[in-house]
Each structure stands twice: as C-alpha cells, then as structure tokens.
Structure 1
Amino acid sequence: MAFEMFKTGPEYSSEFKLFKGLVDDEVTVDDAVQWVIGATMDRLEGYGPGGTIDKADAVTFMAILELVMRIDQAQYGPLVAFLKELKMYNAVDSTTGLVLKARNGSWVWSHLPSLTTCARKILAEFERDDDYLCDPNVDPEQQIRWAKMNIFLAKSTQAADVKYTSSSQVFISDGMDESHIGLCGLRQIFEEGIPTEQLTSGVGLLGVCYWFICAGDRLWENVLNGRQYNKYDGRPGDMFWDRNWRGFERERWDVWQKGLRDAQDACLPGQEDVKDLISRALSKMESLTNDSSCQ
C-alpha cells in the first residue's frame, strides 16, 4: 500500500501536521524545511542497520501528497514554495561527508527523488483496476483526490526551473518537474485506444485537462525544445506503436489536441462541467500554438 510506512495513516503524522500548519500560515517555509531536514536525518539514524534514506525521505512526501488531496488547490502555493526551498539542500552522510542518494542515484534533497517515487506509487494505487481511468462509477471522493493530485503535480511542474540543454536530454534538470508523469497520463488517455465516449465519464480525462490548464506552458516548452525521455517514460501508446516518439513531439501534441476535441464533441447532456474543463484545456493549448505561430 502507498502509505504503509505510517502506522495510523499520514494524516496523523507529525509531518502532516507540519504541512497543515504551513498552508494555514502558522509555519514559515524556512522553518518547515529545517524541521524536515532534522526529522529526516533523525529518522534515518533511528532505523539503524538496513534503514535507507529513501524510506526516511518518503514519509515527508507521502504526508505532503495526502494533504494535497484533502485541501483546496488555492492552498498549494506554500507547498510548492517548500519544494523550491528544500531542493536547495542535500542530505549528507555524517561519517563520509558524501551526499546521500536514493536507490535510483538521485540526490536527496536537491533532486527531490521521493516526490516522483511517492506520486507514482499513489497514482498506481488509483489505477489498480485497469478500467479506472474511464470508469464512470468511481467514487466521487476518489475523483476529487485524483484531480487534486494531478493539479498539484502540474503546478509543481509549472514552477520548476527547467534547463533545456539538448533534444536528447533524458535526465530531469529540476526535481519539481513532473512532466514525465503528465506525459504518462496523456499516453494512457489519448494513445491507447480508449473509446472517446468512455473518456468523458472517467477521471483520466479530468487529470490530463488539468495538466494543460495548470502546466500548459511547461508542456509546450517541452514540445518546442523536443524534450525526450528514456524508452519507457517516452514511449508511444499502442495505437501509435510505429511512431518513434520519445517524449514531447509536436506530432504528439496534435494527437492530444485532437483527442480533446473529439472528447468535447462526445460530451452528452448533463456533462457540462466536463465539457467546460475540456474547453479550458483546449483554450490553453490553442493560445500556446497561436502565440508560437505569430513569433
């Protein structure tokens, strides 16, 4: 389970209470960062032999993401600011003086490895049922949690300081940049052959709409710079298996835009909220492409 490191659930943890205080203006970003640094290192020391920095660090990010799914998106600002500040630090082994690394080789905290790891773990929990993304019977509370998770990841991505060095760049230059998670969602929704009429009743479409609404500028910058990933993260969906896509290609952007238009046309009476969300996503995409063509 995603929250297995908590005995009673993340909402009862000291970390959760800290971040709740942060969004309620009871704790400053600097104080929250220093508290987390100290608590994480104390936790790692307390684990003893066999304890890992991955496990110690994950507690923080699981608490953040659980809070994200409970509060209004208007309160995300302090949490994004926290990530910006935390990535200025590194966890250092007191005996060797070396920066502690996650299992994937990323530095804790400057690469924010647990943000991606924990987000993927939680999203995988949502998607245990193969039909989850287009299931019209998903519990409304779970729909809200899914949407909020995607909104926060998109807002974090938009706030990232991404350095584009070359089109063959496969590493992520800023740990706040979760574009690869957004790309995964877009592939699942628009490239795997899900019937359009099913998309309009599922949570998957909501998630990708919020990615364009909240992080459209970043996604378009990825396209303009030919952002690529490894073969797994950048791969095309089954409908486009013969394309040599590795990330944010312009042809792929057009596929997603057409997918949104088709979904908009497929909306039925009573789906006005979904249609409005699609319109907002399309409006963002169209404004970006129009601005680019005028330059």
Structure 2
Amino acid sequence: MDISPGITECEEHNILSSYLADPDKTDATLERLTTCATSSLSKGELETQLRRLWNSFLYLSSQQPHSSKQQDSLVKLLQVLTTNSSTLKDTNGRGVEVDGSKVWRGLPLFGQQARECWNFPSDKEVDTKTRDVWINVNAFVARLTAAAINEHGGERQGYSPLDYSLYGIWSLRSALEEKRENLPGKTTVDASVGAVAVWIVYAGPTLRGLSESNKTYSGKVAKPGSKFKDQEWRGYTKDRWQSWKEELAQAKSLVQDDGIQNLVQQALEIIKQ
C-alpha cells in the first residue's frame, strides 16, 4: 500500500482534518478547497494539488475505524463535490477540466490515486497497523460505491465518479478466489478476509445488485482468481456471488482476531439474505 503519512503536512490534509472536527461546516470546507485549487491553478500546479487532496482523503479514511462517523463524513463531502459544488473556473470564466473531467464534479485523478494505494502486500506477513489500514480504506471505498450504485445495480445520477465496484472484485478475488494457504501469516489472512467483510457490510446490497444485473468490465480486469480459472467471469455474476458466499464461510475459520471474526460474521449474515 502507498498512502504516505507525509501527506499530513499539506494544506489539503489540514482542511479535511478541520472538516472532520466539525462536519457541519461543509460550505466553509468547500470554500477553502476552492480557494486552494484556484491558487494552485494560477501557479500551474492544479494537478499536483488535486493529487494531494485525494491522497489526504484516502489517508484520513485509512486512519479512521471503518465504522466511524468520520468515514461517513468523508463520503458525504465527496458526494457534495460531485453534485452540489460549483465548477472551478479559470480567469476567463471557463470551467476547468483535468484529465477530461470537470473540477469538482468529475473528481479528476481520484481514481488514479486510489489505484496507487490498492496494492496490498499479500506476499508477506503484515503488522496489525497495515492490516487495519487496509480494512479501513476498503470500507471507505465500499461506502463510496454504495453511494454511487443502488441496490438494483444501477448508478445513481451524479454519483458515477464514486463507483469503485471493480475494486470490490479485486479485494474479494484476492481473498476468496486464490489459495489462502499461500498467504504468509495470520495477520495477512485477517487483513484480506477483513477487507472482504467490510465490502459486504458497507456495500452488500450494492454488490448483490451488480451480481444480479451481471455487471461486466472490459478486458480481463475482473477475471477470476486461480481457484476458479475455468470460469468466464469478467465482472459480477450470480454464480460468482454464490461462490463468494461459500468461500467467505470457509475463510471465517482462518481469522484469528476476535474483532475481525465478528466483522466476518456480520458479513455472512448480510450475504446470506
């Protein structure tokens, strides 16, 4: 994973930290973010500034317990940015775009920054801090996806920049479709299975809806793991959802941490509905 703690020294992190301390001040936070972006735009540094901002979102979400109100607040702020915030304008009054998306509504570069931190080191034993960071950031992205997609698998108007359902497949595939005996230690197992659990707890109906509507992705980005290599899965399917249900029930017995055990039990109750 690559969410640098050095991000805590930047202005964007300070703005978001102030917002989490008083989440009712959404308008004031949007004003501060826009002022920061406008200043960066005038210096030709907008892309760098946006990357710092999105990294601050990801870092802060990774440091908050997955069930916390702070995670809710960060999700709500991104929702406001995609739907209610004014488009950033240049000195000629034209709307500003970065990488083909409007600032703020398209959340340009957010996906790139999320992808950069989506590299869990499953080939080595991790410490409990890395385990918790991985579970927390999965919960945050699952919450975003649930905000973007309804329980029938359709995108909510205006929330498409928050759809990270593909990341859900990556986490579920890693933990449930590969041979778990190849994982190096108990904390890595807890992290991998815990990440699955938060996807189900915070976006279970969403993922079920995608499975029922056979949501697919281009190429092989959503291909099955090695245990299911004979399947033709390229996204969410009813069969894949059923396999996850069965695999998660088996994986529970491998989890060592009591808190993650309880989290997996919550997920099992949801996935069986």
Bin of the TM-score, shorter chain as denominator length: 0.7 to 0.9
Q: Distance in 1 between matches of 2:230 and 2:257?
A: 34
Which residue of structure 1 aligns with residue 73 of structure 2?
Answer: 78
Task: Work out which of the residue numbers 106, 110, 116 in structure 2 matches 1:115.
Answer: 110
Which secondary structure state, in structure 2, belongs to the residue aligned with residue 123 of structure 1? coil
Which residue of structure 1 aligns with residue 39 of structure 2?
Answer: 42
Task: Work out which of the residue numbers 124, 131, 138 in structure 1 matches 2:123.
Answer: 131
Counterparts of residues 26-175 of structure 1 (less than 5 Å): 28-47=25-44, 51=45, 53-72=46-65, 73-88=68-83, 89-95=86-92, 97=94, 99-102=96-99, 105-124=100-119, 127=120, 129-132=121-124, 135=125, 138-161=126-149, 174-175=160-161
Which residue of structure 2 aligns with residue 189 of structure 1?
Answer: 175
Q: Retained in 2: the 8 A contact 1:187–1:236?
A: yes
Task: Work out which of the residue numbers 237, 240, 244 in structure 2 matches 1:249.
Answer: 237
Change (3 A) 1:107 1:161: farther
Q: Retained in 1: the 8 A contact 2:142–2:198?
A: yes
The two structures have a TM-score, normalised by structure 2, of 0.84
Which residue of structure 2 aligns with residue 276 of structure 1?
Answer: 262
The two structures have a TM-score, normalised by structure 1, of 0.78
Q: Retained in 2: the 8 A contact 1:10–1:62?
A: yes
Q: Distance in 2 between matches of 1:197 and 1:121?
A: 22
Which secondary structure state, in structure 1, belongs to the residue aligned with residue 232 of structure 2? coil
Q: Distance in 1 between matches of 2:258 and 2:128?
A: 17
Q: Distance in 1 between matches of 2:208 and 2:185?
A: 23
The unaligned stretches of length 5 or more in structure 1 are: 288-295
1:260 lines up with 2:248 in the alignment? yes
Which secondary structure state, in structure 1, belongs to the residue aligned with residue 34 of structure 2? helix
Change (3 A) 1:214 1:63: same
The unaligned stretches of length 5 or more in structure 2 are: none
Number of equivalences = 265
CA shift for structure 1 position 60: 0.9
Q: CA RMSD in A?
A: 3.0
Q: Retained in 1: the 8 A contact 2:96–2:103?
A: yes
Which residue of structure 2 aligns with residue 23 of structure 1?
Answer: 20
Which residue of structure 2 aligns with residue 11 of structure 1?
Answer: 8
CA shift for structure 1 position 214: 1.0
Q: Distance in 2 between matches of 1:143 and 1:165?
A: 29
Change (3 A) 1:245 1:199: farther
